[in-house]
Copies of this chain bind each other. A is one copy, B any other.
Amino acid sequence: MTQPENQTLSPLRLPEGKMPVLRMMPSPADANVYGDVFGGWIMAQVDVAGSLPAVRRANGRVATIAVNSFLFKNPVFVGDLLSFYADIVKVGNTSITVYVEVYAERNRLQTNVVKVTEATLTYVATGPDRKPRQLPPLESLLIEP
C-alpha cells in the first residue's frame, strides 16, 4: 500500500544528462490519509513510464507481460516531484525489457533527492489482433528508442 522509510538519505541528485520520460506530482487523491502515496499509484505510473521507450522500439502498440522486479526504496509523499527514467535493457524477437528508476525531489525547497523506486518490466509488441508481433529491425526506426 505505502512504503516504509528505511534508508539513510544520502545527498543524491537526479541523473545528469538524462531526460525523465515522465515527471509528475502525486495529488492528495493518490494518497492515504497520512499523505503517503499508494504503492499501486506508483506501479501504475512506472508501467506507463516503461512503455514509452518500448512503444518507440516496437514502432507501435505494446502490452505489459511481466513485472520482473519492483522495489520500493523510500516512501513517496503528496507534494513530492517525481522523475521517472526508463532504459531498454534487453530486446527479444517480440519483447522489450525496460529498467525504470524513480526519484523524488522532496520539500521542493532544497536539493533533497531520494530514489524511491526501481523496477524492471517486460513488454511485448502486439498487432491489431492483440497477438505478439515481430519487432521491426533497429535500422528501420526513424528515431532511437
**Alpha-carbon gap, A21 to B35, bound state (A):** 22
For the complex formed, measure the closest distance between the CB of A30 and the CB atoms of chain B, giving whole angstroms. 8
Interface of A is mostly: mixed
Further 6 A-B residue pairs, CB within 8 A, beyond A3-B63, A33-B35: A4-B132, A36-B63, A36-B130, A40-B48, A60-B109, A65-B72
A68 CB-CB contact with B under 8 Å:
yes
Q: Across the interface, do A28 and B33 meet the contact criterion of CB distance under 8 Å? A: yes
* Partner of A126 from B4, B61, B71 at Cβ < 8 Å: B4
A47 touches B143 (CB 8 A): no
Q: Do the beta carbons of A23 and B25 come within 8 Å of each other? A: no
- Centre residue among A43, A45, A69, A78 by max chain B CB count within 10 A: A43
